[in-house]
Structure 1
Amino acid sequence: MRTAYSVEKVRAAERDLMARLPDGALMQRAAAGLAVACADLLGRVYGSRVVLLVGSGDNGGDALYAGARLARRGAGVRAVLLTPERAHQGGLAALRAAGGRVSADPRADIGRADLVVDGIVGIGGKGGLRPEAAELAEAARARTVLAVDLPSGVNADTGEVDGTAVRADATVTFGAYKPGLLIDPAREYVGALRLVDIGLDLPDEADVTALQHADVAALLPVPAADSDKYRRGVVGVVAGSARYPGAAVLSVSGALRGGAGAVRYVGPGGDAVIAAHPETLVHAGPPSKAGRVQAWVIGPGLGDNEAAMADVLASDVPVLVDADGLRYLDPARLRARTAPTLLTPHAGEAAALLGAAREEVESARLHAVRELASRYGATVLLKGSSTLIADPEGAAVRVNPTGTGWLATAGSGDVLSGLAGSLLATGLAPLDAASAGAYLHGLAARRAAEKAVPLTACDVAAALPGTWHSLAD
């Protein structure tokens, strides 16, 4: 599991470590790791041309010391000092002693560079770059750019990008991942991400986590020898309408591949569902009369059906609400439920729930998902290029690391709803069901995209069994 920590926690850990180390030792550790990453990107250090964009903070010092290491290996290194009087003096002296120089013509040097190292602003920076730095960042876009700790101009804690920021091809971060490195829109500026261990002693409680293969594999339900379809869990799906019967089929497709022993479908799309998936148990409704389930999924393609929403929310089992179902939510009503609720909005739906503009949600995704979970007393899966999951108890937000831009296709969210709802029915907690569902869904899309693109939602559903097997194996 990847764990990301706030700037405050990282700074505290750095202070504790520096108190136990000789002066400057921590920066030398960071510079050594940074120099290795630079060498890996260059391929051949001797004779290469490296430009350092150096600010006044420790990131600038890291860049200067790393530049000195590269210069000793035969690289031609030039440092662009944005604030010469505040540049790290020890790092600058080391660079000069190794044969590096301060740039006299920054734009010309950047234009000739094989690698540009962004050491402008550190993890404490707020807001976009100042004009001079922004001009240098723009000039570097045509070159290979490696960011020190994080791309300058992005918010390390939130992933927000308020103004101009460096777009890196790769980022080397020290000691711990920072939330902004994993969350859009900042994640789009990070490039390939590498963590350099510098020996920080970090707290157990992270601010953001990202599950990996082993974590998800441990969550996947496995039938026991004496299992039957009911013991494995039954998921109820209330989806589709006369206008959108396909939503019913796609939701059931995901639910059938999510580990539950049976799927009950309730709604007007029964004929279409049976034609596509004859193993489905179909009922005309209402949901409370359809038979016992261990979890409900409601909303995809539902249209105007407030009565079905009221019926499902009155149940005593976990409920996943998506799409049209999100229009009928009331925070007090959700908080009064005796069983948990999982909401799966995209940015537009989240904005409606928060009474905000979509742009506000997309630019501050971490804040939005936490606010939704708190306000509605529910676990929230905020879909998007970086899917985030937050629970109402305030645990670390999870960010899903899988997926592909090809998932931006009609019906893919319906498949995810069915999949995550099925995992709920097997007994997973909402946070785990949402996290495992998003991971499987994104990984299935990647696998499907390797065979053919563009993707359809049906392609993603079809890839789920093989994806599940690859994780469980």
Structure 2
Amino acid sequence: MRTAYSVETVRAAEQELMARLPEGALMQRAAAGLAVACAELLGRVYGARVVLLVGSGDNGGDALYAGARLARRGAGVVAVLLSPERAHRGGLAALRSAGGRVSDAALRDIARADLVVDGIVGIGGRGGLRPEAAQLARAAWESAPVVAVDLPSGVDADSGEVSGEAVRADATVTFGAYKPGLLTDPARERAGALRLVDIGLTLPADAAMEALQHADVAELLPRPVAESDKYRRGVVGVVAGSARYPGAAVLAVAGALRGGAGAVRYVGPAADAVLAHFPETLVHAGPPDKAGRVQSWVIGPGIGDESDALDDVLASDVPVLVDADGLRFLTPQRVRERRAETLLTPHAGEAAALLGSGRGQVEAARLATVRELARRFGATVLLKGSTTLVAAADGPVRVNPTGTAWLATAGSGDVLSGVTGSLLAAGLPARDAGSVGAYLHGLAARRAAGPAGAPILASDVAAHLDAAWRDVTD
């Protein structure tokens, strides 16, 4: 599992380690890892032109010491000092001793660079870049590959927010631990490829953020045993679709059938369309409380203004996933009154409506948004989007590492609701069901889009869920 820690936690771990090491040893460890990553990106170090954008803190020191290592291997290394009087003295001396120099024409040197190293601001920085630094960052992006030291300067390490101009990196070399901002948009898309350099930090078990990997998902996936029948494996009830949106019902049922439960019970007006595609489905005209036994409910995709069924579903004593149109009728009180788990799956616009804010505010502060929704509703929340986040009322936020931009297609969220609801019915807690459902959904979309990427349909995602399942378990 990939874990991320807050700046405060990382700083405390660094201080504890530095107290046991010779002075400067920790910075040398970081610089060594940074230099190796830069060398790999360059391919050929000897004769390469490297520009260091150097701020006043330890971040700049890391860049200077890494630059010295590259200079000793034959690179032409130039440091652009944004605060010359506050540059790290030891790092600057090491660079000069190795044959590097301080730039006297920053934009000219950047334009000629084979690689630019962003050491402007470290993990303690707040707010966007100052004008001079922003100009250099733009020039770097237009001229050469950019490697960020610990995180791209100008982004918030704890939240992933970008409140002004920030560096856009091709790769980020981070030290000791991932930071939440590196895994969360809008900062994530500015970080490029991530590399973690182990510098020997001892970190607590409780992280600020987690990202599941194949082994974690494989351990959580429900598996039938010899004594299993469809009821022991779980039955998921799906309330979706309408006369206007029968396709939403079909897609939600498609996801549910491939999500691990033993059976799917559909309730709603699109039964004919559902049975035409999936004769395995158990259908009922409703209301939900008369439909028969289920271990979870999914409600909302394509139901329009038909909200009567929501009362029945929320009154049940099984886990409930509320998506799409169903979210429009929710209040925190209705959710908090439930005894069983509730999982909400809004996209940015729906999250904004639930919080009474704007969509732009949600997209600029995704991590803060998902935490606030979970707190306000006393529920688990899966916030869909460029970074899919899953938050419960307490514990680390989960970030989904799979997926593709091709998932931005009509109906893909309906499929996600179905597969996640099926995992709930199979017995996974809401936080795990949301995390595993998003993971499989993203893998299925990648398979459907292919290695080079191509337009896909929501039904393609559903059709590849079984392959995604096998990818994980194999």
TM-score interval, normalised by the smaller of the two chains: over 0.9
Deviation at 1:306, TM superposition (A): 1.7
CA distance in 2, matches of 1:173, 1:105: 29
CA distance in 2, matches of 1:248, 1:205: 39
Letter of the 1:254 counterpart:
G
CA distance in 2, matches of 1:192, 1:277: 41
1:271 counterpart = 2:272: yes
Deviation at 1:472, TM superposition (A): 1.2
Letter of the 2:49 counterpart:
R
CA distance in 2, matches of 1:470, 1:89: 51
Give the equivalent residue in structure 1 for 2:422: 422
Deviation at 1:332, TM superposition (A): 1.1
Give the equivalent residue in structure 1 for 2:92: 92
Give the equivalent residue in structure 2 for 1:467: 468
Give the equivalent residue in structure 2 for 1:293: 294
TM-score, normalised by the number of residues in structure 1: 0.99
TM-score, normalised by the number of residues in structure 2: 0.99
Letter of the 1:72 counterpart:
R
1:34-113 correspondence runs (5 A): 34-113=34-113
Q: Report the count of equivalent residues.
A: 472
Counterpart secondary structure, 2:237 = strand
Give the equivalent residue in structure 1 for 2:217: 216
Letter of the 1:51 counterpart:
V
Give the equivalent residue in structure 2 for 1:20: 20
Give the equivalent residue in structure 2 for 1:170: 171
Letter of the 2:365 counterpart:
A
Counterpart secondary structure, 1:231 = helix
Letter of the 2:344 counterpart:
L
Give the equivalent residue in structure 1 for 2:397: 397
Letter of the 1:201 counterpart:
T
Deviation at 1:304, TM superposition (A): 1.1
CA distance in 2, matches of 1:102, 1:457: 54
- 1:182-241 deviations in whole A, cap 9, x for unaligned? 000000100000000000011111001100110011110110011111110000000000
CA distance in 2, matches of 1:139, 1:331: 48
CA distance in 1, matches of 2:75, 2:473: 47
Letter of the 1:172 counterpart:
V
CA distance in 2, matches of 1:333, 1:411: 27
Give the equivalent residue in structure 2 for 1:195: 196
CA distance in 2, matches of 1:389, 1:228: 30
Counterpart secondary structure, 1:74 = coil
Counterpart secondary structure, 1:237 = strand
Give the equivalent residue in structure 2 for 1:147: 148
- 1:227-262 deviations in whole A, cap 9, x for unaligned? 111110000000000000000000000000000000
CA distance in 1, matches of 2:102, 2:110: 13
Deviation at 1:362, TM superposition (A): 0.4
Give the equivalent residue in structure 1 for 2:438: 438
CA distance in 2, matches of 1:447, 1:217: 18
Aligned Cα RMSD in Å? 0.6
Sequence identity, in percent?
78
Give the equivalent residue in structure 2 for 1:181: 182
Give the equivalent residue in structure 2 for 1:310: 311
Counterpart secondary structure, 2:231 = coil
Deviation at 1:157, TM superposition (A): 0.2
Give the equivalent residue in structure 1 for 2:325: 324
Letter of the 1:248 counterpart:
A
CA distance in 1, matches of 2:203, 2:93: 32
CA distance in 2, matches of 1:214, 1:366: 25
Letter of the 2:252 counterpart:
S
Deviation at 1:305, TM superposition (A): 1.6
- 1:71-129 deviations in whole A, cap 9, x for unaligned? 00000000000000000000000000000000011101000000000000000000000
Give the equivalent residue in structure 2 for 1:128: 128
Deviation at 1:431, TM superposition (A): 0.1
Give the equivalent residue in structure 1 for 2:248: 247
CA distance in 2, matches of 1:338, 1:134: 51
The answer for unaligned runs of 5 or more in structure 2 is none
Deviation at 1:338, TM superposition (A): 1.0
CA distance in 1, matches of 2:52, 2:289: 65
Counterpart secondary structure, 2:78 = strand
Letter of the 1:441 counterpart:
H
Deviation at 1:413, TM superposition (A): 0.1
CA distance in 1, matches of 2:457, 2:103: 51
1:458 counterpart = 2:439: no
Counterpart secondary structure, 1:297 = strand
- 1:283-312 deviations in whole A, cap 9, x for unaligned? 000000000000000000011122100010
CA distance in 2, matches of 1:266, 1:156: 45
Letter of the 2:72 counterpart:
R
CA distance in 1, matches of 2:307, 2:408: 28
CA distance in 2, matches of 1:450, 1:107: 40
Letter of the 2:381 counterpart:
V
- 1:316-347 deviations in whole A, cap 9, x for unaligned? 00000000000111111211111010000000
CA distance in 1, matches of 2:298, 2:280: 18
Runs of 4 or more consecutive aligned structure 1 residues displaced over 4 Å after TM superposition: none
1:348 counterpart = 2:349: yes
CA distance in 1, matches of 2:369, 2:472: 31
CA distance in 2, matches of 1:470, 1:311: 37
CA distance in 2, matches of 1:86, 1:226: 70
Counterpart secondary structure, 1:141 = helix
CA distance in 1, matches of 2:362, 2:331: 20
Give the equivalent residue in structure 2 for 1:114: 114
Counterpart secondary structure, 1:389 = strand
Give the equivalent residue in structure 1 for 2:11: 11
CA distance in 2, matches of 1:61, 1:279: 63
Deviation at 1:470, TM superposition (A): 1.4
Deviation at 1:391, TM superposition (A): 0.4
CA distance in 2, matches of 1:210, 1:351: 24
